[in-house]
Amino acid sequence: MSWRRLAHGEAVLLAAVCVLLAAGGFVRWLAGPFPADIVWAVAAGVALVPAVTWVVADLRAGRWGADVLAVLALGGTIAVGEYLAGAIIAVMVATGQLLDKAAARRAGRDLSALLARAPHEAHVRRGERVDLVPVDDVVAGDRVVVLPGGVVPVDGLLCGAGLFDESALTGEAAPVDRLAGDAVRSGVVNAGSAVELAASATAEGSTYAGVIRLAEQAAADSAPVTRLADRIAVWFLPAALLIAAAAWIGTGNPERAVAVLVTATPCPLLLAVPVAITGGMSRMSRAGVVVKGGAALELLGRATTLAMDKTGTVTGGQPQVTDVVCAPEVAPERVLADAAAVEQYSPHVMAGAVLRAARRAGVEPASAVAVSEEPGWGARGRVGGREVTVGRLESGRELPDWARGAARRGRLDLASVIWVETDGRLVAAMLVRDPVRTDAARTLRRLREAGLRHILLLTGDHVDNAVEVAALLGLDEVCADASPADKIERVRSGREDGVTVMVGDGVNDAPALAAADVGIALGSRGSTAAVQAADAVIVDDRIDRLADAVEISRRSRRLAVASAGIGTGLSLVAMAAAATGFLVPVAGALVQEAIDVAVILNSLRSLRGPLRLRHRRPDVLLHRFAREHELLLPARSAVRQAADALAEGAGPEADAAVRRAYRLLVDRLLPHEAAEETQLYPALTDILGGPEGTVTMSRGHAEIERLVRRLGRHLTETPIQPDQVDDLRATLYGLDAVLTLHFAQEEEAYFTLTSGGAPQP
């Protein structure tokens, strides 16, 4: 029934008129029956007029369906003099229309909020003054000032630390701390003091504008899964007419036929389905995923195959320095300070990795002069009177032993190597990789639990890197070195086996996103092409939103189908009761009204998740310890460096390296582990269902402490003796392995529980 043709105000007016007439007729019935029938007949006529216009419009468009039943039920009650039943049906039609509109308005509230919050003006610094200008006048490079409580108007890079409410984009309420140099997306709210940022895009090209465009599409798009209702109506209408005709012919009583038609009014079928789908779209919006229409949500709810890009989707998309291998007698902090001094002037992606590594280690870049860059090779400059070069090495260059070991580690770890030279001497090698997201493994487990049978990695990256990532995450298939054409072909072949979803963020992913049944783009760093080609967009940089979207879409579709099926089944039972005389028209109308309300309320459950015990997550603690993991990278690196330093046997350099590692472990790492045991793990007990959830991690802490104590006993000898070297190296390498595994387990198991996810480096 196309009741959505009425605007919300018109639906309110129709419902009010029908309810007042029905109630007025009841009042007149108490005073005397004659006026009551007239008032009830008028109520039925008021609802009949728009219903007839809907049927005529559908027939002209070549459609027919359950609208006919509403017309027959209303007309039949008037024809046989069942005016009270007609008035009840009129109220049912009008209130059903109002329920539909109210549900749609409630479900679309989050999308409308995005449109209402769009900033129209921005404060731009012009020299010493700050001007208020139209947001469309802001260009990349402008210094934009965001006042407390203000909405960030354009994407940009922070000039200082700030606190932001990102709930409009992510759906999460907890404010997020951002540091100087961090990217901030338009649409988030400044929850702290005034901040300044350097615009990196215009308002039209910023994140929030893209989300608004998607929201407008979503708000304007009706739920195509309503076609399910039309398909059911094709057999439901003839069945209702046959049952009504049989009741009339079998009994000779036309009231039986009217009673059947009254109970056959298919409101649950045509209201419950769009309410469930629209509610699911609203829920996905609050979960940080904007879907362009109900068709995408319905298909996502039936997905069986998932294809994922690697770089920027499964991995973080930003290279990170995973280790700093130094020449003997060279401290990693000095290397990072010198390298960052030179790289802070470079726009190269690897320069960003060096700067982030220095920031994690708490190292301030030194001052550099005469900085220059040679494309493809690296950058150089003078730092403290020394010539510092950061970048590649020419092929065939003779390397010292420690450098050959570093190069070999780079090959084994599938990492790039950034070399640092001082006055022509190699002093360090920085190993750089694009790590797998900490929330990727948890997300994939949730996707499999939701029903996805086949998950493949579809990437243009090299085979070795792709296989390594796929093996780490337990994916079913790897398609590496894939061109955009290869990706399209693989996605299309996947569609033959079931509904296929493609997730990506780059320009080269756009064709595959468009070719998939459902394309999902990561909007925070995704290309404009990817966002435009996708059917849904994850508006922040968290891949676990994908699992949220699949779970919500599956539940919304189940509710839509269940509501339609239950409502239709109950209507058939009521029709049978009416045909056999157990329900008179008035009682049938009341029964049908109860069915309508029940199935609509069931569909509205799609606006919320299933009932479950919700625990307060210790987000502050989780963020704190996740940040400490980053700051402990130098301590972890020192363990491996100390073990490597012992390769040449005992000596002053090796002794100094081992003692430095021990000091870092005792002063920094062990206090961190102790604080986790006494503060973080007890706070996680409720979330994990009891203390057993942290037993494995506690056992890891115990092993780390045991190895550190063993290392300390070694260092009672001064200096280190030759016969200690083998056991020292075994202890240090064992400690390095345990720390690597333990940190990875904590980051995946615990830090992805935070509302904002683990902090990105």
Say if residue 665 is in the same domain as residue 695: yes
Closest CA to 306 of 495, 525, 523: 495
What would the pLDDT profile of 555-609 be if each residue is shown by its tens digit? Answer: 888 888 888 778 777 878 888 887 887 877 777 666 766 776 777 777 777 777 6
Cβ contacts of 678 within 8 Å, gap of 6 or more: none
Say if residue 472 is in the same domain as residue 566: no
Mean pLDDT of 666-674: 92
Please tell me the predicted confidence (pLDDT) of residue 225.
Answer: 39
What would the pLDDT profile of 425-442 be if each residue is shown by its tens digit? Answer: 999 999 998 888 888 888
What would the pLDDT profile of 85-136 be if each residue is shown by its tens digit? Answer: 667 667 766 665 565 555 445 444 444 544 566 778 899 998 888 899 999 8
Mean pLDDT of 316-326: 85
Task: Give the least confident one: 384-393, 477-486, 597-606.
Answer: 597-606
Q: Is the pLDDT of residue 197 over 50?
A: yes
Residue 544 lies in a domain: no
Residue 288 lies in a domain: no
Q: Is the pLDDT of residue 4 over 50?
A: no
Q: Amino acid identity, residue 195?
A: V
Q: Is 309 a catalytic residue?
A: yes
Residue 308 lies in a domain: yes
Residues 54, 36: Cα–Cα separation, whole Å: 28
Residue 287 lies in a domain: no
Question: Which is it for the CA torsion 191, 193, 197, 202, positive or negative?
Answer: positive
3-state helix vs strand vs coil in the chain, percent to 5: 60, 15, 25
Which of 502 and 238 is assigned the larger pLDDT? 502
Q: Is the pLDDT of residue 147 over 80?
A: yes
Q: Amino acid identity, residue 586?
A: V
Highest mean pLDDT of the ranges 44-48, 221-225, 446-450: 446-450
Q: Which band of pLDDT confidence, cut at 50, 70 and 90, is reported for residue 613? A: very low
Residue 341 lies in a domain: yes
Mean pLDDT of 174-194: 81
Say if residue 673 is in the same domain as residue 724: yes
Residues 409, 417: Cα–Cα separation, whole Å: 9
Query: Among 416, 433, 450, which residue terminates a domain?
Result: 433
Closest CA to 380 of 395, 394, 364, 369: 369
Residues 754, 374: Cα–Cα separation, whole Å: 42
Highest mean pLDDT of the ranges 167-171, 261-265, 420-424, 748-752: 420-424
Residue 421 lies in a domain: yes
Cβ contacts of 489 within 8 Å, gap of 6 or more: none
**Burial class for 333, CB neighbours closer than 10 Å (0-12, 13-18, 19+):** middle
Residues 26, 39: Cα–Cα separation, whole Å: 9
In percent, the amount of the chain with pLDDT more than 70 equals 76
Closest CA to 435 of 452, 449, 414: 414
Q: In the structure encoding, which two tokens stand for residue 461, read together?
A: 């990256």
Which of 421 and 346 is assigned the larger pLDDT? 421
Mean pLDDT of 345-367: 84
Q: Amino acid identity, residue 324?
A: V
Q: Is the pLDDT of residue 625 over 90?
A: no
Query: Hey, how many other C-beta atoms are within 10 angstroms of the C-beta on 126?
Result: 10
Buried/exposed 548-565: b ≥16 CB within 10 Å, e otherwise: bbbbbbbbbbebbbbbbb
Q: In the structure encoding, which two tokens stand for residue 192, read together?
A: 């702290």
Active-site annotation holder among 110, 142, 309, 655? 309
Q: Which band of pLDDT confidence, cut at 50, 70 and 90, is reported for residue 288? A: confident
Residue by residue, DSSP assigns 264-283 as T--HHHHHHHHHHHHHHHHH
Q: Are 443 and 544 in contact (CB under 8 A)?
A: yes
Contacts within 8 Å (CB) and 24+ apart, 15-21: 15/91, 15/94, 15/95, 15/97, 15/98, 17/43, 17/46, 17/94, 18/43, 18/46, 18/47, 18/87, 18/90, 18/91, 18/93, 18/94, 18/95, 19/91, 19/94, 19/95, 21/46, 21/87, 21/90
Please tell me the predicted confidence (pLDDT) of residue 168.
Answer: 59
What is the residue range of 158's domain? 119-217
Please tell me the predicted confidence (pLDDT) of residue 340.
Answer: 92
Mean pLDDT of 601-623: 64
Query: Among 534, 566, 599, which residue terminates a domain?
Result: 534
Q: Which band of pLDDT confidence, cut at 50, 70 and 90, is reported for residue 45? A: confident
Please tell me the predicted confidence (pLDDT) of residue 41.
Answer: 75
What would the pLDDT profile of 329-339 be if each residue is shown by its tens digit? Answer: 788 888 999 99
Say if residue 632 is in the same domain as residue 662: yes
Q: Quote the mean pLDDT of the chain.
A: 78
Please tell me the predicted confidence (pLDDT) of residue 694.
Answer: 82
Cβ contacts of 445 within 8 Å, gap of 6 or more: none
Query: Among 393, 417, 433, which residue terminates a domain?
Result: 433
Name the domain count of the chain.
5
Cβ contacts of 238 within 8 Å, gap of 6 or more: none
Q: Helices 33-60 and 67-79 sit at what angle, rounded to 10 degrees? A: 150
Residue by residue, DSSP assigns 1-17 as --GGGS-HHHHHHHHHH
Q: Helices 332-343 and 633-645 sit at what angle, rounded to 10 degrees? A: 120
Residues 487, 506: Cα–Cα separation, whole Å: 12
- Length, in residues, of the chain: 761
Mean pLDDT of 218-229: 45
Closest CA to 300 of 610, 496, 517: 517
Q: In the structure encoding, which two tokens stand for residue 187, read together?
A: 């649409």
Say if residue 134 is in the same domain as residue 161: yes
Please tell me the predicted confidence (pLDDT) of residue 725.
Answer: 87
Give SS3 for 684: coil
Q: Is the pLDDT of residue 757 over 50?
A: no
Q: Is the pLDDT of residue 726 over 50?
A: yes
Please tell me the predicted confidence (pLDDT) of residue 40.
Answer: 72
Please tell me the predicted confidence (pLDDT) of residue 388.
Answer: 93
What would the pLDDT profile of 229-259 be if each residue is shown by its tens digit? Answer: 556 666 777 777 788 788 888 888 787 877 7
Beta bridge partners of 503: 308, 520
Residue 289 lies in a domain: no
Structure letter (DSSP) for residue 723: G
Q: Is the pLDDT of residue 612 over 50?
A: no
Residues 120, 107: Cα–Cα separation, whole Å: 26
Say if residue 603 is in the same domain as residue 733: no
Residue 329 lies in a domain: yes
Say if residue 526 is in the same domain as residue 564: no
Q: Are 277 and 297 in contact (CB under 8 A)?
A: yes
Please tell me the predicted confidence (pLDDT) of residue 429.
Answer: 93
Please tell me the predicted confidence (pLDDT) of residue 722.
Answer: 85
Say if residue 127 is in the same domain as residue 271: no
For the chain, the straight-line distance linking the first and the last C-alpha, in angstroms and rounded, comes to: 53
Please tell me the predicted confidence (pLDDT) of residue 305.
Answer: 93
What would the pLDDT profile of 513-528 be if each residue is shown by its tens digit? Answer: 878 888 888 865 555 5
Which of 151 and 294 is assigned the larger pLDDT? 151
Return the C-alpha torsion angle 712, 717, 719, 725, nearest 10. Answer: -70
Q: In the structure encoding, which two tokens stand for residue 736, read together?
A: 């390095």
Give SS3 for 206: coil
Mean pLDDT of 480-494: 84
Which of 484 and 488 is assigned the larger pLDDT? 488
**Burial class for 653, CB neighbours closer than 10 Å (0-12, 13-18, 19+):** middle
Tell which phi-psi region holds residue 474, choosing left (phi > 0), alpha (psi between -120 and 50) or beta. left
Say if residue 402 is in the same domain as residue 447: no
Residues 358, 687: Cα–Cα separation, whole Å: 34
Say if residue 650 is in the same domain as residue 598: no
Task: Give me the CATH number covering residue 174.
Answer: 2.70.150.10
Say if residue 312 is in the same domain as residue 186: no
Please tell me the predicted confidence (pLDDT) of residue 557.
Answer: 84
Q: Are 437 and 543 in contact (CB under 8 A)?
A: yes
Residues 219, 269: Cα–Cα separation, whole Å: 22
Across the chain, how many H-helices and E-strands are there? 29, 22
Q: Are 669 and 629 in contact (CB under 8 A)?
A: no
Contacts within 8 Å (CB) and 24+ apart, 9-15: 11/94, 11/97, 11/98, 11/100, 11/101, 12/98, 12/101, 14/46, 14/47, 14/50, 14/94, 14/97, 14/98, 15/91, 15/94, 15/95, 15/97, 15/98
Say if residue 413 is in the same domain as residue 459: no
